[in-house]
Chain A
């Protein structure tokens, strides 16, 4: 059975922004929306190596900071190219200020050539 881990504290989060958690591999991004909900998805855009934590959050979607694909924070689905594949969504529970994340068991959709020049 999958066990949730403490990814961060709610106090570490800024509304409308993401926080990259690289203690897991591949890294994940935790978002606090302007509406106050907390979400976790894979941090790496499925098109090219870019940290979604640095992307723009609006209407429960995050836009990749490199191009214009946006991913749903609820389903991980991508809306438009250049990305084609969804990001994984990780289950989040709040325990006090602790953000507990249960990692998805699906295979991640990592971009080609990640981590290289």
Chain B
């Protein structure tokens, strides 16, 4: 046991009602915290899980209640403050100012404000627009974003998806499922994910998408979008590529990353990363201000800063919440597991685990790029540091279990070193 930061009867204030915020509250309760917990959320909605926003929710197969994090049959003992934005953090006395003029005092604060979607710049000049609002793409970050796209007729539409990550590719797959006339992905590289995941994986993803009629634009990065003159007829928008190429589109979906929601902390004493704006934390989630922690997409923990772990995965937010909950309550420290991510695109289930971002070599171990059964190993200096499988659940599970770090406790042996 370590010394708790938060007394069992203390008030825990969680800022941000997403995955990390919800699971921090859940973890703290599981560790026996009896004091009040308040979760402030910007949206007028119950806390929900985001992965389905680009998949089942976007096709209409899943409804809002299917995405809820809390169990209505066994709800967390938490006070939800919804539809309220935060404007500032105060260290003395500790608490948070909200945009309705209130000040919420707390014995400990956990910042889980997440990230907001980056967007593509509008390249319209004001006279081109003829009084119209600047051209803006759809993004997919929160339920409102997904709802807007879900309510937009896609049948027969020419869709351009900007971005080459999993969110972009899942969106492209969903648009095909919804009957789009054409879907073109501007991934910013020839084969999507080649730089991050290696050529065999990128080729496998590309060939699966091409087999469903998705086209890939040349590898030049998208520079922005603008309205097309109505006299030209056809699609209303166009995406401009860095090589001068132009992609006409009825619908533009932008999935080019996200930036931490930390602008409300600029006047506080919480240290932020000068590049990304993320809240800088140690590997228990503690920030530079005593009693203030951060987790999830708004935070950059020490092992992220040192390049040991990637930022922004669902699994990171989920695990960090457990680590923070243990730290707050003085419970046995919870170690972070090997990084893990997954993505569903058509009938491909892609799972990656380990230090893939650190690899200097990728080897196909089994399957082929065209077979929907690829298995690759990643290595660094000749040591296997990660694995990625396409429809290889059993292999990925085995690797993941083999590298699992056991929690340190009185009963269990200490953490085993990872071969990375």
Interface residues of A, Cβ cutoff 8 Å to B: 17, 50-51, 54-56, 63, 65-66, 81-82, 84, 112-114, 116-117
Contact = CB atoms under 8 A, between A and B. Distances in A.
Nearest to A111: B66
B394 interface: yes
Contact of A113 (B62, B170, B318, B342): B62
Interface in B51-86: 52, 55-57, 59, 61-63, 66-67, 69, 71, 73-74
B213 to A, nearest CB: 14
Contacts, number: 63
Contact of A117 (B55, B73, B351): B55
Q: Which 8 A-B pairs have the closest CB atoms?
A: A113-B56, A112-B66, A113-B61, A54-B393, A113-B62, A116-B61, A65-B393, A112-B62
B397 A112 contact: no
B376 interface: no
B397 A113 contact: no
Chain B contact residues, majority secondary structure: helix
Nearest to B346: A117
Contacts of B61: 112-114, 116-117
A51 B393 contact: yes
B394 A117 contact: no
Nearest to B66: A112
Interface centre among A50, A66, A84, A113 (most CB of B within 10 A): A113
B139 to A, nearest CB: 19
A114 B14 CA distance: 32
Interface of B: 23, 26, 49, 52, 55-57, 59, 61-63, 66-67, 69, 71, 73-74, 170, 173-174, 177, 318, 342, 344-346, 349, 351, 393-394, 396-398, 401
Given A65-B397, A113-B55, A116-B61, 8 more contacts: A50-B393, A56-B401, A63-B397, A65-B393, A65-B394, A81-B26, A117-B173, A117-B344
B393 A113 contact: no
B71 A54 contact: no
A54 B66 contact: no
B396 A65 contact: yes
A63 B49 CA distance: 20
B71 A84 contact: yes
A117 B23 contact: no
Q: Output the residue of B61, B177, B396 with the most chain A CB within 10 A.
A: B61
Nearest to B58: A117
Given A81-B23, A112-B61, A112-B63, A117 B397 contact: no
A44 to B, nearest CB: 13
Contacts of A17: 394
Given A54-B393, A54-B394, A117 B62 contact: no
A92 B279 CA distance: 52
A55 B170 CA distance: 24
A63 B396 CA distance: 13
